[in-house]
Amino acid sequence: MSTTPSSPAAGTAPTPAPLWRPALTLFLLLSLLTGLAYPLLVTGIAQSVFPQQANGSLVMRDGKAVGSALIGQGFSEPGHFWSRPSATAPMPYNAANSAGSNVAPTAPALTDAVTARIAALRAADPGNTAPVPVDLVTTSASGLDPHISRAAADYQVARVARARGLTVAAVQTLVERHTEGRWLGFLGEPRVQVLQLNLALDASAPAASR
């Protein structure tokens, strides 16, 4: 006598296949692709093609990192060029807390801050009657700007030369050497990277820089 497979009873749905297996497989596959393979690939390409930028655009002196070309530093000595102010907290040029002051143009706090900064610049160089460049008394949107305008650098040349015991012409030459032109020749304005300029000054007159 032959037998036939039994069929589900009428009205009874078949048991669905478990969904956790394909879900887990997809999770593991995507984790390997996006969490391991892709980061390793991008990191390898960056280290091979753009090693300087991939490692933070570090500025080196005597084999040691003294800063980054992308992040400003505060300078207060008369023999150094001063950067533009920074509104980051709890310290100036805090890369972990990039921010502007968010103060309105008509706010009394901004007026007071700018007035105090102008007074400090005038006190540091009493004989300088030139107009104070705006970027020396206002903060950037990021609070980390490593550059100043060429006008801001030129404004400080006489003070730096006097403090260093250098001629104005010698300091002006260093400024010109460290002036970066417009991007692609027409975008933006000429600018000066303050840290690299100050390092060049230290190399030119190390004894007078302290």
The mean per-residue pLDDT over the stretch 149-156 comes to 97
Q: Where are the alpha helices (DSSP H) in the chain?
A: 20-32, 38-49, 51-54, 108-124, 150-164, 168-177, 194-204
pLDDT at 9 over 80: no
Listed residue (145, 143, 148) closest to 179, CA to CA:
148
What pLDDT band is residue 173 in, cutting at 50, 70 and 90? very high
Find the angle CA(91)-CA(95)-CA(101) to the nearest 5 degrees: 60
Distance CA 192, CA 175 (A): 7
- Counting residues of the chain whose pLDDT is more than 90, the rounded percentage is 59
pLDDT at 209: 42
- Residue 210: pLDDT band by 50, 70, 90 thresholds? very low
Whether the Cβ atoms of residue 196 and residue 61 lie closer than 8 Å to each other: no
What is the three-state SS of 102-160? CCCCCCHHHHHHHHHHHHHHHHHCCCCCCCCCHHHCCCCCCCCCCEEEHHHHHHHHHHH
Peptide bond preceding 90 in cis form (omega within 30 of 0): yes
Q: Is the pLDDT of residue 38 over 90?
A: yes
Token pair of 182, please? 């417009």
Structure tokens that stand for 1 in this block: 């006598």
pLDDT category, 136, cuts 50, 70, 90?
A: very high
How many whole angstroms separate alpha carbon 175 and alpha carbon 106?
Answer: 34
Q: State yes or no: pLDDT of 159 exceeds 80.
A: yes
Looking at every residue in the chain, the average pLDDT score rounds to: 88
pLDDT digits 0-9 by tens, 40-97:
989 989 888 888 888 878 888 888 888 888 999 999 999 999 999 999 988 889 988 9
For 18-30, what is each residue's pLDDT tens digit? Answer: 788 889 999 999 9
Q: What pLDDT score was predicted for residue 1?
A: 54
